[in-house]
Chains A and B, each alone.
Chain A
Amino acid sequence: MSTENKTYLSARNITKDFGTTRVLDDVSMDIQSGDVVSIIGPSGAGKSTFLRCMNLLETPTSGTVEIGDFAITLGAGRSTASKKELATLRRNVGMVFQSFNLFPHLTVLENICLAQRRVLGRDAEQARVRAFELLDRVGLKDKSEEYPGRCSGGQQQRVAIARSLSLDPQVMLFDEPTSALDPEVGAEILAVMRELAEEGMTMMVVTHEMGFARQVGDKVHVMVGGRIVESGDPEQVMTQPSHERTRQFLAAVLGR
């Protein structure tokens, strides 16, 4: 297991091609245990693809994903990860999507209990207790028996966060978790995320919320055209960007 201040999750030389288009070009990134790293950049830059490579929802064309001491290298004749590699990675890495992706045919409670039971092997009571703990934490205890279709977007996203946390992940990936929500509702989600960060959760967050990246993030990476063009302290990057593309991007986002 990882210790404090040790690289926990890392991507090394990740390249991803879709057909003949190179979407990620030699991207490397480390995240230390307990840190919050933000990834910002224009739409189409490859941020989602990169994040999805971190839990192998997308298989890199080449590169290495490493979690703790467990490394998975692809490329050089190896085009798919093994079942065991996928299982190990996904047991430790949670993900929250822009579009929530709750299971509409299951109640809120069932959404949160399913993987606890089927993946971690918890019994019904253990799963239920954990689910209610998390629902309480995201303020939705009274929604446990509702179907997702009857919950607002913000509520659905909070359930999605609880679903992911129910597996006690070491790292959480967030792909623009507030982009599908009204700003006030998005703020509630950001508050939940901020709390998680304060409790020491290791987080990799793709976001357009510059305030969050600046206040909560320990580090920010700017991705443009499938490459990291600039990385560093969020305050530094946002007030004195060193790369022209970063400046253009920040002007476009903050100018709004």
Chain B
Amino acid sequence: MVLFIAQGLIWTVIITLSSFALGALFGVFVALARSASSRVIRALARIYVDMIRSVPPLVWLFIVFFGLAELGLKLSPLQSAIVTFSVIASAYLGEIYRGGLASLGSGQIEAAQSIGLSRFDLLARIISPQIFRTVSPSMVTYGIGLMKDSALASTIGVVEMTFRANQVTQSTGMGLTSFAIVGGIYLALSIPLGLWARRVDEKMRKKYVVN
């Protein structure tokens, strides 16, 4: 039974990692749009973020899976889950980046501009590495949340752990055991991730003491 349920882990991992990676990438654009000099762009980005955060992930998942199908765009359950969680992650991670950007202070950006660095270099070599250090703990926390949310994909038919545990329960009636196994696997994933994030953070803190 453990093995049967654990086979669903692959989908949990695929959904979590791909959505996190895509969300982390698009989140950069969200953060840039949120701090753009144009008021219109800032307002649009704000609406995007607020809209995503105000609606439960399950509802977004259904909108993407059932809603888009109705409009003629038929996505598989897995595709729907990845699209939904990527978009949601882009909003949350974008806000996390923006917080880091605000804490960076204008001096760094001015210094980079004064030596003529391009906007790309400013972002890639000055801003990103510095805010990565401050935001990585929040990013990992979000990633753990995302992993837990990926269980929602079972509702549209992705055969991940929760889905399988449900199958087991239907056929054997052993609901407590099967879902305890799912819980245990999530626990076994979350705890090391959290510890790893803390270690990385401490290591980087030691490397360049900022005064």
Contact = CB atoms under 8 A, between A and B. Distances in A.
A14 B97 CA distance: 36
B209 A103 contact: no
Interface in A47-82: 52, 55, 57
Given A101-B108, A103-B111, A147 B207 contact: yes
A163 B117 CA distance: 13
A224 to B, nearest CB: 25
A99 B107 contact: yes
A91 to B, nearest CB: 6
B198 interface: no
Q: Which of B112, B115, B208 has the most CB of A within 10 A?
A: B115
A94 B121 CA distance: 18
Contacts of A99: 107
B192 interface: no
A141 interface: no
Interface residues of B, number: 22
Contacts of A167: 115-116
B129 to A, nearest CB: 5
Interface of B is mostly: helix
Interface string A82-126: 000011001101110101011111000000001100110000000
Given A104-B210, A114-B125, A149-B208, A55 B114 contact: yes
Interface residues of A, number: 29
Interface string B167-211: 000000000000000000000000000000000000000011111
Nearest to A118: B121
Contacts of A105: 129-130, 133, 208
A57 B109 CA distance: 10
Interface of B: 107-108, 110-118, 121, 125-126, 129-130, 133, 207-211
